[in-house]
Amino acid sequence: MFPKSHAAINKLRQDLKIHSVVLRNTIQDVKILATTTKENLGKSIRKLDLRKKYDGKGKLNANMDEKVWRYEIKYQLGQLEDSLAKCKTIIGILKHLQADSARTQDDLENELEAMKVELKRDIDRKQIKITDLEKQLKALKCEWWKALLTLGIACIKIGKAKSELQAVQREFKGQLDLARKINGRMDYFDGLVHLAALLTSEASGLLETTKKLENVMADTKRELEEDFTDEAIEDSLWDEDFANDFAEGLYVSFEILDKQCDYTIHDCE
């Protein structure tokens, strides 16, 4: 009974296992990406803080300061470009996972509903057969309930009707037993559907978190490219006030990305 549905549900169950592994691995990938980005920001911040130490001791001149700034800006641009490429790959994986999990959920629900409908239809058909037999037995003046309870023994002389009754009873009993088994496993089937729905929800949530991280990384990279050019560095570092404002702007930009990394890491735990 239901060989196609049984095979389909087994296949969908295997798909759920694969989806679970992909989600688990992708969560780790996103966490590592956010952690690495945060660590890279920390390296630059420590370098820029170090220049303050040298500046306070009078050991930092404009040429050395400019070299430090150029190096750190270039370093961050390279790291952010690499992180954004990884982020794009992860987002692609999550979009596929989101769609695959949702489709698996729909397919499971459809298979289970088809099983229920077919089972009910089959039982109804057997009931019709029994009703037809009941009419035959009555026509032969054999009491239906008596024949039913004695499996036709009371109508032993009506051989064909008796054998037909017994065959249908066995078949009908099998359907009822199957119905009870399926109903008994509905919690298990519902659990599969729930898991598929949970995977879809988790993939959707992680996708949104990753997109937010991607947006903040892209904003930071764009700001570095537009506001911290070689010309801007050269123009700003020769004046102490400009240099301080320049540094403050970079710290603010880094802080925004750093906080987004913290949020992402927390969301992945």
Q: Please choose, from the candidates 159, 199, 208, the residue with its C-alpha nearest in 3D space to the C-alpha of residue 30.
A: 208
pLDDT in tens, 132-183: 656 665 665 555 445 444 444 455 455 565 566 666 656 656 655 655 566 5
- Written as six digits, the tokens of 244 are 């301080």
CB distance 169 to 162 below 8 Å: no
Rounded CA separation 164/209 (Å):
65
More confident residue, 72 or 51: 72
Q: Is pLDDT at 81 greater than 80 in this prediction?
A: yes
